[in-house]
Chain A
Amino acid sequence: MRAEANRIEEAELFSFSPILGLLLLPFIASVSAQAQQQAAVGGNDIVRRGEYLARAGDCIACHTAPEGRTFAGGRAMPTPFGMLYSSNITSDRETGIGKWTAEDFYVTMHRGRFPDGGLIYPAMPFASYTKVTRADSDAIFAYLKSLPPVNQRNREHELRFPYNNRQLILGWRTLFFSEGEYKPDPSKSAEWNRGAYLVEGLGHCGMCHSPINALGGTSQSDAFKGGLIPMQNWYAPSLTSNREAGLGDWSIKDITDLLKTGVSARGVVYGPMAEVVHNSLQYLTDDDTKAMAVYLKSIAEPAARPPASSALPTTESSLLISLGKTVYDARCATCHGAQGEGKPPHWPPLANNQSIEMESAVNAIRMVLNGGYPPGTEGNPRPYGMPPFAGLLSDNEVAAVVSYIRTAWGNRGAPVSAREANELRSAPLN
């Protein structure tokens, strides 16, 4: 009876006193979630822990507009279905989430529904965030509540018919959403499980590194198999195939260097991944970065390399490749080396570089056209940049030099055509 009464009191506390609930819930939940809290930052300081986790989830990337107030939303996010605008997640009571309870926040993260039951567009990665523990969700909520409110009304989405009908999300959810917190795999180490929790959950890596089908979803079996990011026209390579960005034959140090600093002995991040390292991954603790590396390395499946296949006739290919060598020796060899060996970590090697050889040549072509800087990070605050060659090289020369680096020095990529190079000249840059 005594216990019964306590439970009722507890329930009342939660329903009538959201503030007390806020304080108590994480404490209760954290006991069950201890396994995943091993590397927790901030200890008992829930706000500090929440700040860390919000970074791990890269909330800022979408919920802050350029030159806008932090977490006040309003960032335009082009999708194949129209324009979405991110929402205000500051503690403002009128336009933000100031009236929400920790329960509301958890339900939103976990189920992809607003507190009133309304459906959330899956641009919000709730299919990943559903894996986040209650304790972590509460910490993020406590952090957001601790920030100054910004009164800024959410902007209406501009979606085309029929996508402007939110009921369609129900269909998407049936196909692509399975609700549920991360379940540790008891056969794996705590470190591996922590890495999996971060990669599959807050890190929402699968949002880009999975093929997006025409319905804007990713099916479970395709998780982390790579895909062209809609609207951005960057290719997010597969994290499971060693022919792409599978990290099976990378050392743990090279993986953690890449995630934490943006550069490594094996390669450098550019494009959308530069954003992720800049806003999110560089802030993770060494333990968490290593856990992600251990997990990522483990999911890479060694795959036999198929023979390179090209749509181009052999004669055209050999002409391109021989022109490509001329361009390479004149423009690229000073930094990337005559044998494509590079000068790591700042000038990445091109020989035996998966991102050059992989089936999609989109990223290699874009790098030649637009160049790029790796992100400025604490570990690499003054990165070296690759010059853009769009104005210096013709379509044919771009195709030639990309064909050359994809096939020279034992690389097993296929040549690309001038048309492919030309098409990417109009790809959106940011």
Chain B
Amino acid sequence: MAARVEACSPCHGKQGEGTGDVYFPRLAGKPAGYLYNQLLAFKNGRRKYPPMNYLLEYLGDPYLQEMAEYFAEQRPPLPAPAASDVSTQVMQKGQALVSHGDPARQIPACGSCHGPALTGMEPGIPGLLGLRPNYVSAQLGGWRYGTRTAKAPDCMQQVAARLTEADVTAVAAYLASRPAPISAAPAPKGAYVLPFACGSEPD
């Protein structure tokens, strides 16, 4: 399978560990259901990034599922947290939002869906560790402006719509500062109850 997904490696690394480019995400260890949803979204053009749309356009869904499973099974070590240039104040704001959310603004804690260890949950919720701040803020921005969408109810769009630019910067910086947990594996399906309905994680 590694040879079949060689085309992914210049941007995502041989094992999906990520590369030097801060906008290309780590794939390794994310739940297969999440990765499959993204592959489908790129294939169908719902998620727009022409180099990805182009690569996947004529591949069969079972093959995309296989690719998703391949990267979900990879366990290269998480990168060491990158040094951040944001202030302590911003970092604290990020920590507060990630850990507790902001109930007054109906913003849930990231961990309430992405898991207490932020490693995601099978089958559809991705882990948030090992991602660079630029990638996280670009994706949150994409949701805020509606350029990234997912199956309805599009929970991330609802959450991101309540975030300000400053929130996004703080969350992205804090997430990237987190050290690797003992186990980077996503929680099993149904390990905890989601605070609200999410199209990507049915039931």
Contacts and interface: CB of A to CB of B under 8 A. Distances in A.
Q: Do A and B bind each other?
A: yes
A374 B4 CA distance: 11
B44 A67 contact: yes
A66 B44 contact: yes
B58 interface: yes
A429 B50 CA distance: 6
Given A67-B45, A67-B46, A429-B50, A392 B57 contact: no
Contacts of B57: 274-275, 430
A278 B62 CA distance: 15
B195 interface: no
Chain B interface size, under 10 / 10 to 19 / 20 to 34 / 35 or more? 20 to 34
B6 interface: yes
Interface stretch (B7-15, B28-36, B140-148): B7-15
Contacts of B8: 385, 387
B15 to A, nearest CB: 15
Nearest to B43: A66
A140 B175 CA distance: 56
B7 A371 contact: yes
Contact of A388 (B11, B46, B53): B11
B63 interface: yes
B6 A384 contact: yes
Nearest to A384: B4
Nearest to A67: B44
Given A67-B44, A373-B58, A382 B63 contact: yes
Contacts of A67: 44-46
A388 B55 contact: yes
Nearest to B6: A387
Given A67-B44, A67-B45, A430 B7 contact: no
Given A66-B45, A67-B45, A387 B10 contact: yes
A278 B9 contact: no
B66 interface: yes
Contacts of B63: 376, 381-383
A154 interface: no
Contact of A385 (B7, B45, B46, B50): B7
Contacts of A148: none
Contacts of A18: none
Contacts of A370: 51, 54-55
A386 B66 contact: no
A392 B12 CA distance: 12
25 contacts: A67-B46, A277-B58, A278-B58, A335-B6, A370-B51, A370-B54, A370-B55, A371-B7, A372-B55, A373-B58, A376-B59, A376-B63, A381-B63, A382-B66, A383-B4, A383-B63, A384-B3, A385-B6, A387-B6, A387-B9, A387-B10, A389-B10, A392-B10, A429-B51, A429-B53
Interface of B: 3-11, 21, 44-46, 50-51, 53-60, 62-63, 66
